[in-house]
Chain A
């Protein structure tokens, strides 16, 4: 039971590693979301210049590979006199990369809202900001949650690259455990299971967000109804949801 002893000895380290991984994931996700919102809304700008510039930014960060961006921020930026903390470096790279993907989600969600909603908002004389905030976005949001869930899981998986900019994340401590036990299968088995559990919990959380978003636009049961396993009539709707969000699509 050497492995068990080694595992117990490694627990504090793994705990710290999980913390760093979570910091990267949540920090990256929050900034990615903000970037996605800004870029996604800018793709709908009336000004050609804004639209064009946004397109370039999005394609740039989608096209140049996450690891390259990470290395660029870590190795090259200091040469330009900007020295970022490793953790912030990781968060920034994740945010820029997944923010660019998220921008497409925002754009798609908004364009999925029916044109009649835009027209009715105009007939009621809302300003374009009121229209977006009160009418369009709440409806688009329900559409955006499942693809955002995919992106969040992709982002979590991307955090494992942080080891290569010398961050002591979960990935790093898995390797430490392998070294101390000499048992690859054991160390990586545990490590992958931890990643899987985190992914699972994030998915559960996002499912709750989705149920709420759909309920808000009265297209589904309330969260309480879903948790209570009660209503047979709402069944079909709940059944489809977990499936759609598991499909990790990134391109």
Chain B
């Protein structure tokens, strides 16, 4: 074969040799660069990249620990943690993964899955109102509302709400579900992308409404709580105590979440489990609460409320010596298990509504009002200790007590215009003579300018814990109010500011003078009337049932202000006590034993002698009960005058090996002997005899 002439060439011209050399050098240089770079990446910094690869593929998934149980003093289970099957949506595995920035839009392909699932688990597919806790996506200012209301199906709404609150976490759609549902969904995985059936721990309440407010509720942790000290160690999908004991002892009950190290691929899908650190379940909490006493108390209280057409009520039963709370009930009650599932807004509103009696409010610590005559022993202590009265002094109760003269004078009289005659202190307590204590109130009044914090009455009331925190192991307790000249001044100032729309009321509408109703009229100074009212537990004084129980415990134990507590011990799963809960008393008040005996004599006679205010209820009870009725007159706009029934009593350690103090309060329950004392009697009967006995309604109309 002959090459065309133009193509013939010598094999290697110097020119070509040069160019080949250039090309070869370039190749050599580039190979050198690549080798050096590879050496750097793989040999010199290899370890760093090995770690980077590990970070890439390993995700930590928190496994919630089962919460510890809450037991009563005898070991009965009040709250436990049960396993159940839950249908969950895994937002990242839906046909269209949920966009965490815009959860309000439900992609069509996801909606198909939701509707298909709704059919399986029996949930409505109709679109209804759905508030989602995120600002509307269209809103770009800082003044955006915190939540957006849209219309979504039940499942779509749950996914939107929970993803808005907790992106990436699995959304529990329904629990519990049956095994049948689990198998049905497992067999049709392709038709239900993003749907999983998993075992979850659910807080259970085998005793339902028993001590619901004290036990409290649990719920998913909120972003704010995640950084709170109290919830240290919680993870983004932790279930934490929200109220009551569950919140107070959350650190013990919560346990330590486990960590599952999961290998994921580039799409974030798990490809295998690398290691699992098992969750450590929470410790158990044993309470001083006696479930049987609690049940009797709640049932009896409910009966009183229904018999007397009351609005609600509370009771506290406590050991007067060490502050162990045997029972703490508030009616109406609720079943806390509703908080373990997504709760509709309407249901939540109902739990807090006045019409439904605000079941979530723990009236024993969060309800406070004037105590009525149950305050009288405190007044008596103040009068005796201050020397304004002696154990032998008497007062002639003519049925009317007047202070001042002329136009400034005012007269008050006993309930039912009773005329009690000449009374010593024990007699006055027995019959609950108002005039007697009006007189003491007047005697104990001091010059408000010289003593802005009040006289002996305020000092002793404060010593008994009126207007002060009890220190109980429950969040949210009220401190109440102890009226003093200074307190009245501050109310007057507030009234003024409210009327003028200044200070904290700036920007709010103005009111006519005294129109806000914060103070009694405008700028009314402290008067002797204030002290007289306080002496009989009426007027502005605000006391919670627990505060009153602490005060009566001091009368029972001789002056020790105990620190009430529901927690008894923290235990591990085997029942080994890890920590005892035995708080020392708050303080000790020094009361002359003779005075204490005098007051106790009155309290004993009130229950045991004919004419005593609670004789008809307690007279036949075979224990040394010291008790005082109270009927607080409460004025409100709707009801001209309503009576709140109180009863406070104790059986001291000197009379029994099982001392107890019981306080019962029934809102709009009428007279103390009628509305409250019968409940106390049943509680005492349960405590001493193991059975509630009959419901004995009293008939005394003393305040």
- A and B physically associate: no
Q: Could you tell me which B residues sit within 8 Å of A by CB distance?
A: none
Q: Could you tell me which A residues sit within 8 Å of B by CB distance?
A: none
